[in-house]
Amino acid sequence: MGFLGRIFNREADGAANEIVAVADGVLLPMEQVPDPVFSQKMMGDGVAIDVSGSQVVAPADGVLSMLFPTLHAFGLTMDNGIEILVHIGLDTVALNGRGFASKLKVGTPVKKGMEIVRFDRELILGQGYNPMTMMIFTNTNGHTMKFVTEGNARKGRSVVAVF
């Protein structure tokens, strides 16, 4: 484990400048995502999670600012203006929402660790898609971000970014 991983791969202590993992799994740098849109950071920088579970939670307190009709992606806007796009799986938009569920609506205030989307990991894999989930910071609102890109992540608990 690298230096940042040793420092930040820990559970959140409630600090307002910490952003946590949206899912359980193994952290990876964006460059290792097998899709050039993500690996070349065309939408922004962030972290990827090779997910092991089926639940995706809010990475921070904020407002659910966007939810794709297919539920494979959502946006969260923090009070400080930082915007995070969470994209569940690669090419999973093609499933047209099959295997995804959410009870929330755009505009809903959310707390760190609150469930946003539940998905059927086995269905995604069975249809030939990769469930890797990306956390993309589409607007850092002037904040400098430091990412944790290795180690194991626990949804709602493991710090993956600090600003």
Which sequence positions are flagged as catalytic?
87
* Burial class of residue 41 (count of CB atoms within 10 Å of its CB; 0-12, 13-18, 19+): middle
Which residue type occupies 156? G
Task: Write out the H or E segment, with its range, that includes residue 85.
Answer: strand 83-90
Contact 11, 157 (CB under 8 A): yes
The three-state (H, E, C) secondary structure of 110-145, written as one string = ECCCCEEEEECHHHHHHCCCEEEEEEEEEECCCCCC
The CB density around residue 85, as the number of other CB atoms within 10 Å, is 20
Alpha-carbon gap, residue 108 to 18, rounded angstroms: 21
